[in-house]
Amino acid sequence: MIKTTYSDLFEGTQEPTKVCGICLNSLPLSMFGTDGGANYLRYECKPCAKAQANIVKKLKMSAPPIPKDHQCPICQRSEQEIRKSNPNKKGVWCCDHDHKTNEFRGWLCHKCNLGLGNLNDDVTRLNRAIDYLKGT
């Protein structure tokens, strides 16, 4: 018999696991969604992703509105400049927040928000990245 489904592939064996980047639990791969339809798994498990989405949803409701002529405070691009570079993007601004305190920090473009997140919002890492760029 040819194994055709995900569950068939692991029949009689233990499913591979992955560590969630938020709760740090080692969980079956089925507990992780794919990232934007890509062929790799998200950094956080589905329950942690849902909890994060709920936090952001609440923050967006209580955050100050995005100013009409807002520019990203990091890259200083306007909404029009951001849309030119990625016309298929639905939303331009991300609700940036401190992941330890869940406090709103401001409205950032997606690229800058991802940049901070990829460096774990860590000032030391950001400074090392600056030093690296200055040295090359």
pLDDT value at position 95?
95
pLDDT value at position 34?
87
What is the percentage of the chain residues whose pLDDT exceeds 70?
90
- pLDDT above 80 (res 9): no
Q: In angstroms, how far is the first alpha carbon of the chain from the final one?
A: 56
More confident residue, 91 or 52: 52
Q: Is 46 helix (H, G, I), strand (E, B) or coil?
A: helix
Q: Structural domains in the chain? A: 1-51 (3.30.60), 63-136 (3.40.1800.10)
Question: How many residues can be counted in the chain?
Answer: 136
- pLDDT above 70 (res 7): no
